[in-house]
Amino acid sequence: MLEGSSLRSCAGIRVLDAATNIAGPYGASLLADLGADGTTTQFAAVNHGKRYLALDLRTTDGRALLHELVGHADVLIQNVRAGHEAALGLDALACHAANPRLIHATVAAFHPADGDRPGYDILVQGESGLLDQTGEPGRPPSRIGASAIDHVSGLWLAFAVLAALRGPRDSETVRVSMLDAALALLNEKIAAYTVTGEAPRRMGAGTSVTTPHGAFATGDGYIVIGAATDESYRRLATTLGPPLTDERFATQAGRVAHRDELERAVTTALSTHSSEHWLATLSGAGIAVGRVSTLPEAVTRHRTDSATGMRRHVDSEAIEVVAPPVSFSAERWPPLPLPGAPGRDGEAVLRELGIAPDRISALRERGVVG
């Protein structure tokens, strides 16, 4: 449960988070970061900024207490498998009967026509076409190296809830499908396919419309080069020398037509020096270039260079999570308390909502409240 206590835009907003896994809880934590109130490292990463009330929603008393909480809330987030919400009192009809101004927000893996299929990030990557687009040509498809669809779905959920909070709030429902969120990431590829009828193919770190534009080996590692225009390619060819200066490579169409030969030539030229040498040389020539960092390298740079304070400690220095990648004036994101055990804040939350101590004790004795 989250309740606003910050100077951000969600201050004063109370959110009930009844979701599990990553997408729903992450969306709720984003709202908490913006001011709504509300152990493992993964749990801390997507559940910070919340207070914890344990309810047994399989009981009549548990569902009744849920609806009392709903009566005090602005938003409820849930991701129960389709068709099972009503049994737990989490369906929009029951929640809006308790509070017509509630924004009822659902994260689903698939579409309503898919029924109650369970869904995880990797399943959605597969069915959206994203998995088929990731990896090297001629090799098996690869998962994106993060739970990207869970997190993008959480972002869309928070975005939709913020928009709904500014609306009339008349029995409002918000629904985010992870499958739709994944398809949105393929936006330009889908647009091209609908026009040409040609399915895109896996290209590793490259792209079908231009080259050299991707990751290339150097003498001691990898760098990323983006030479997407004829002018930027001319600067690259001048810096690396023949055979990149061949007239066949002078135009975008020529470079794409002779992709394999060109990319081999780039790799051969880069093999003569280290990544650091080429980062300095190519950058000095006005060519877009970057490192292929390991995660430890990226974290070290993030800690040192981030101008927005994009990291937050949880439980003093024990756990570090990535803060929202935005900044507000000169403010920094404050440290966070460690997420609590289920039910840790139950009595305090219920007392704040005016529920009598003797009733809380009776509910706890019956196992309704954890």
Instruction: Round to whole Å and give the CA distance between 233 and 215.
Output: 15
Q: What's the number of domains the chain is made of? A: 2
CA-based angle 64:66:68, to the nearest 5? Answer: 75
Q: Give yes or no: residues 157 and 282 share one domain.
A: no
> For residues 301, 303, 308 and 314, what is the CA-based torsion angle, rounded to 10 degrees?
150
Would 197 be classed as within a structural domain? Answer: no
Backbone region of residue 231 per phi and psi (left: phi > 0; alpha: psi in -120 to 50; beta: other values): alpha
CATH number of the structural domain spanning residue 224: 3.30.1540.10
Helix (H) or strand (E) holding 264: helix 259-270
Asked whether residue 204 is domain-assigned, the answer is no
- pLDDT, one tens digit per residue, over 1-16 is 544 444 355 677 888 8
More confident residue, 131 or 303: 131
CATH code of 72's domain: 3.40.50.10540
Whether 57 is in a domain gets the answer yes
Partner residues linked to 223 by β-bridges: 216, 291
Residue 193 maps to a domain: no
Residues 180 and 221 both lie in one domain: no
Q: Are residues 218 and 107 in the same domain?
A: no
| Mean residue pLDDT across the chain | 85
Q: pTM for the whole thing?
A: 0.81
- The answer to whether 47 and 339 have CB atoms below 8 angstroms apart is yes
Q: How far is CA 3 from CA 29, 76, 169, 348, in A?
A: 11, 12, 18, 13
> What distance in Å separates the CA atoms of residue 207 and residue 224, rounded to the nearest whole number?
12
- Cβ distance 149 to 181 under 8 Å? yes
The residue with tokens 């687009």 is 133
Residue 150, token pair as written in the block: 């869970």
Q: Same domain, yes or no, for 177 and 253?
A: no
In a domain, 202, yes or no: no
pLDDT in tens, 246-291: 999 999 999 999 999 999 999 999 999 999 999 999 999 999 999 9
- The residue segments making up the domain with residue 121 are 2-185+340-365
pLDDT of residue 337: 61
Q: Is the per-residue pLDDT at 39 higher than 50? A: no
Q: 233 and 174 share a domain?
A: no
In-domain check, residue 6: yes
Q: Are 36 and 164 within one domain?
A: yes
Q: Phi then psi for 154, rounded to 5 degrees?
A: -65, -40
Same domain for 45 and 117? yes
> Are residues 264 and 139 located together in one domain of the fold?
no
